[in-house]
Amino acid sequence: MAFEIDDDFIEKIEFFIENKDDKALRKHLNEEHHADIAEVLDELDFDNAVYIIKLLDSEKTSEILMELDEDVREKILQNLSAKEIADEVGEMDTDDAADIIGELSEDRQRRVINALEDTEHAADIKELLSYEDDSAGSLMAKELVKVYETWTVAGCLRRIRGQAKEVSRVHSIYVVDKENKLVGRLSLKDLIVAKNDQKIADIYIKSVDSVNVSEDDEEVAKIMAKYDLEAIPVVDDNNVLLGRITIDDIVDVIREEADKDYQMAAGFSQEVEVNDTIWELTKARLPWLILALFGGFISVSVLGSFDSAMLDFPELFFFTPLIAAMAGNVGVQSSAIIVQGLANDSLKGSLFKRLMKEIAQGLLNGFVLAALLMSAGMLFLGFPLNLGITVALSLISVIIIASIIGTFIPIILDKRGIDPALATGPFITTSNDILGILIYFSIAKLVLGF
């Protein structure tokens, strides 16, 4: 049954803290999963959250810290000494420890690392902090199980037992040569059934997927998704084994990228959260709203250039919002499909074939919608045939053009190294609104002759 926070649970925790009943508080919380405790701390008064972090064992609180909301964790870390933070990260895997320490100022980072008792752990964390953000190096953990190809099976088993103590989950056993270069992987089944005096070189699997330490984290996610990997080794330019990336870190990358793309498509210029300040939310929204306002001004200017049509054919303006909306909607639909294909690396084939496909589906959609609109306008609103033809031709043209723009703008942005999610939302909507109105009145001018 899923853990649920209710008022009684929170009140009980606050009662224990108020009465300094640490024994009861420990017993009450130690029975719960660390992710559930993190959820509880998010609900508590800040001072009470710090009290619990300082009370519980570092083995427990190190896991809790990783589950906390970033803003809450930042405030808690500000109220812990360098030694207290060092005690926490000393219980973490190196990748998690580097994430936590990376949130601190440079001065506090140095003090926390110097306070770590395990010098090897400290050196590994410093190494991870040196890699670029959003790279494989920044994602990887140093903890892994590796064996040398020259070892015997018996010697390998003894050494694996020692290494496995430092690894929370053993996904793979990696095989390296005497220069620490990755040469393959070892099946646990093959290791168990092999004879004690056999060499690892005789039983390991030479085929192994790996990523370079400088590889972009999104590319790592695509590789792991494509080959259904739970973990992947990380190597340098000389193929020296440096660490491994596990699926839990990749899930975080995918979720963060999805959040960023969704917000960008919705018209946010930076990542925001629901609990951000009014100023932070305004900074994220305002640039796109200014773009939309500028686009709206251009739309008004375009309409103004066809002011003579208002006198002779006022019915044209009844359909203006519809044409503009259809252009925006079709463009967003097309761009959303392309952005999704680029994100999951499923966009294949030539650009010419895709162009033909977009024109074909634009024609089909356009003819169906135009027929419905023309019929409704003439039957129920009594519009003349020439006006119906104008609206129908405009709608077909707008849908085709909007489909093409919505398809190729994300592809062009992606080829230029710009996030294609930028193409969706206000950008496509605003540009297609303007284009839709321009096409509509240009066709109307040709057909109706004003």
Residues 96 and 172 placed together within one structural domain of the fold:
no
Strand partners, 211: 234
Residue 269 placed within a domain: no
225 domain residue, yes or no: yes
Show the tokens assigned to 371: 């027929």
Residue 164 lies in a domain: yes
In angstroms, how far apart are the furthest CA atoms of the chain? Answer: 97
Which residues pair with residue 141 across a beta bridge?
Answer: 244
Are 218 and 282 found together in one domain? no
Residues 16 and 94 in one domain: yes
Q: What is the pLDDT of residue 111?
A: 95
In this structure, the answer to whether residues 15 and 130 fall within a common structural domain is yes
Q: Give residue 371's pLDDT.
A: 86
What whole-number distance in Å separates Cα of residue 347 and Cα of residue 357?
Answer: 13
CA distances from 154 to 148, 151, 161, 178 (A): 12, 8, 11, 18
The per-residue pLDDT for 137 is: 94
DSSP letters of 284-300? Answer: HHHHHHHHHHHHHHHHH
Is residue 264, in this structure, part of any structural domain at all? Answer: no
Q: Over the stretch 324-352, which tens digit does the pLDDT of each residue have?
A: 888 878 887 788 778 777 766 667 667 77
Same-domain check for residues 153 and 134: no
Single out the residue of 96, 90, 95 nearest to residue 141, CA to CA.
95
Domain containing residue 107: CATH number? 1.25.60.10
The pLDDT, as a whole number, for residue 272 is: 53
* Token pair in block for residue 264: 């960008």
**DSSP summary character for residue 270:** S
User: Residues of the chain whose pLDDT is less than 50?
Assistant: none
Residues linked to residue 186 through DSSP beta bridges, in sequence order: 173
Contact 323, 395 (CB under 8 A): yes
pLDDT in the model for residue 203: 92
Look at residue 271 and tell me if it is in a domain.
no
Predicted confidence at residue 281, as pLDDT, reads: 65
Q: Measure the CA–CA gap between 182 and 175, rounded to whole angstroms.
A: 6
What is the amino acid identity at position 75? K
Query: Do residue 325 and residue 438 come from a single domain?
Result: yes
The residues with which 135 forms a beta bridge, in sequence order, are: 216
Domain end position, chosen among 78, 113, 138: 138
Instruction: Count how many domains the chain has.
Output: 3
Q: What is the pLDDT of residue 141?
A: 92
Are 427 and 288 in the same domain? Answer: yes
Residue 58 lies in a domain: yes
Q: Indicate whether 174 and 310 sit together in one domain.
A: no
Residue 371: which domain range?
278-448
Structure tokens at 324: 């503009």
Chosen domain end from 110, 138, 166: 138
pLDDT at 242: 96
Q: What is the pLDDT of residue 2?
A: 56
- Give 118-154 as a DSSP string: -HHHHHHHHHHHTSPTTBHHHH-BS--EEEETTSBHH
Which tokens in the block code for residue 124? 């590994």
Q: Cα dihedral angle (151, 153, 155, 158), rounded to 10 degrees?
A: 130
| d(C-alpha 13, C-alpha 52), whole Å | 10
Question: CATH number of the domain that 400 lies in?
Answer: 1.10.357.20
Give the single-character DSSP code of 271: -
Of 138, 155, 178, the last residue of a domain is 138
- Looking at residue 138, its pLDDT comes to 93
CATH number at residue 235: 3.10.580.10
Domain match, 216 and 188 both:
yes
| SS3 state of residue 239 | coil
Q: Is residue 266 part of a domain?
A: no
- In this prediction, residue 415 carries a pLDDT of 80
**Pair 154, 230 in one domain:** yes
1 part of a folded domain: no
Same domain, 231 and 126: no
User: Do 133 and 222 share a domain, yes or no?
Assistant: no
